[in-house]
Chain A
Amino acid sequence: MTGHVIEGIGLSRRYGGFAALDNVDIAVKQGEIRGLIGPNGAGKSTLIDVLSGRAATRGGKVLLNGEDISALTPQERRRRGMARSFQRTNIFPDLTVEQQLLVAAWAVPGADIAEVMDELRLTELADIPAGEISYGDQRRLDLALALVGRPAVLLLDEPAAGLTMEESLGLARILRDLANRWKVTVLLVEHDMQVVFSICDRITVLHLGRSLSEGTCAEIRVDPTVIAAYLGTEA
């Protein structure tokens, strides 16, 4: 054991002649929120896809609590405690909020939807079809779906996309709070730097499919290579 809950070692992924991910290493400790930033096309979503099993890595391996899970399907990884969300919401518009959470909960042994509904303030929306709730509520439902069963690892791909600044920071606070109390390890892809710098313990910067830098928020803010490649002088 290395003390890391989730580890990616030498992860690579090509789409045709384009190297979306090129020999990337990443390791995140329990309860840590790791920001994953970089310009469009840097490989952030591809890294999430490879870690979650949606895309295969060409060489390299993925470890969950020290166990090699590279050969497991996304469903098997979910049952073992690795959940993810997508850039767009994953809701099923015709199912009620409660039914959606039940669908997610039945697939995970011992999952309890009441605590997730309570934490994400969804209890009073339980009987409303998900297609009829506000976008902000849908985003919280999306996070709730990933949190069902208290996963060990949460891979979030732009969970605050399309939210107002106030909603984004509210979501960030919930995430920080749950990471602390539930000891959930979070890998967060997010373009909103205010969200990233407000809740992340450490940040990994990707650029052109490679890992450009890694460090605390303070270190990343002043890293000249990161400023040149992504943040710019205003960060």
Chain B
Amino acid sequence: MLIQILNGIVYGGLLYLLAVGLVLIFGLREVVNFAHGALFMIGAYIGFSIAAMGYWWSGLLVSVFAMALVGCALDAAVFSTLRKHDHIVTVLVTFGILLILETVVTKVWGKAYLTYPVPPLLAGTVSIGGSPFPIYRLFVIAVSVAVAVSLSLWLRYTRTGLYIRAASTDARVTSMQGINVDRLSLIVVGLGTALAGLSGVVAGPLLSLSPTMGNYILIDSFIVVVIGGLGSFAGAFIAALLIGQIHNFGAVYLPWAATVLPFMLMVGILIWRPTGFAGSRT
């Protein structure tokens, strides 16, 4: 049972890393980023390419940095413009970006499934409650918790964090108070996509790499964002852990219904509370 709970936390942690990027981007730009799963996938491929040369940790750093740059470019070239358009336009454009990125990855790395290695430092298992548990999975939990705590402290206690919380509530009013929301968005989207890259690298050894690897986890991440409440960082954390557990326990005890359980939960929560756990937007 303890191992099952830990496995649920591992998946929940990965979902959080991806979902919090969606929350950040939606909060400031009001863009529902369907390309986020593709950014997760590209992050994994970049990390993989460098890890395959024997530099696992460098792969992680390069991937995070590269995805941050991609995010800044996306914000400047696409998201800043999309904000003025209807939400359906943003959905279509980001979906188009997803297809383009998948095609690029297919051309560069091929369609075949690739295996991402575990770094030697994190290989092996430890005994938890008498059962072996991979050290690498504990690392995934640690990364997720570290990101959640750092992000929470940053948003709560720093100047930029306060600006982001204000702009996520109402970008127009924040702008009228003299704050450059476009510059803020560049930071936020860059951070969101960097977290997608981090999530892709960290998830790499747990999943097989393929051009479509981001699609399934993106759907679960959207469920996390909706259940947690659009624009809510704390809500996303709680919802990610919940979906992680449901995903894991569903796969073990209700395998025939495992794929629909998160959707059923989402429907139930939206009927009970249309703004999600902690959201103020519908």
Tell me whether A and B are bound partners. yes
Task: List chain A positions with a Cβ less than 8 A from chain B.
Answer: 52, 54, 74-75, 78-79, 84, 86, 90, 92-95, 99-100, 102-104, 106-108, 145
**Shortest Cβ gap from B165 to chain A (Å):** 6
| B169 and A93 within 8 A (CB) | yes
Instruction: Considering the complex, give the chain B residue whose CB is closest to the CB of A108.
Output: B178
| A104 and B178 within 8 A (CB) | yes
Contacts of B280 in A (CB 8 A): 93
Known: A90-B170, A90-B177. 14 other contacts (CB 8 A): A74-B175, A74-B176, A75-B176, A75-B180, A78-B177, A84-B176, A92-B165, A92-B169, A93-B169, A103-B163, A103-B166, A103-B177, A104-B178, A106-B163
- A166–B180 Cα distance when bound, in Å, is 37
- In this complex, the interface size class of chain B, counting residues with CB under 8 Å from chain A, is 10 to 19
Other-chain residue from A52, A106, A145 in contact with B159 (beta carbon distance below 8 A): A106
| B173 and A90 within 8 A (CB) | yes
Interface string of B153-167 (1 = CB under 8 A from A): 000000100110110
- A93–B165 Cα distance when bound, in Å, is 10
**Shortest Cβ gap from A73 to chain B (Å):** 8
Would you list 24 pairs from A and B whose C-beta atoms are within 8 A, ordered by A residue?
A52-B176, A54-B176, A75-B176, A75-B179, A75-B180, A78-B177, A86-B173, A86-B176, A90-B176, A90-B177, A92-B166, A92-B169, A92-B170, A94-B169, A102-B162, A103-B162, A103-B163, A103-B166, A103-B174, A103-B177, A107-B178, A107-B179, A108-B178, A145-B177
| A95 and B173 within 8 A (CB) | no
Residues facing A in B187-207 (CB within 8 A) are none
Instruction: Considering the complex, give the chain B residue whose CB is closest to the CB of A78.
Output: B178
- A106–B180 Cα distance when bound, in Å, is 12
- A106–B159 Cα distance when bound, in Å, is 8
Given contacts A86-B173, A90-B170, A90-B173, contact A95 B162 (CB under 8 A): yes
| B173 and A75 within 8 A (CB) | no
- A17–B239 Cα distance when bound, in Å, is 48
6 smallest CB-CB distances across A and B, nearest first, come from A107-B178, A78-B178, A92-B169, A90-B173, A104-B177, A103-B166
Interface core residue of B173, B178, B180, B280 (most chain A CB under 10 Å): B178
Other-chain residue from A75, A86, A95, A108 in contact with B165 (beta carbon distance below 8 A): A95
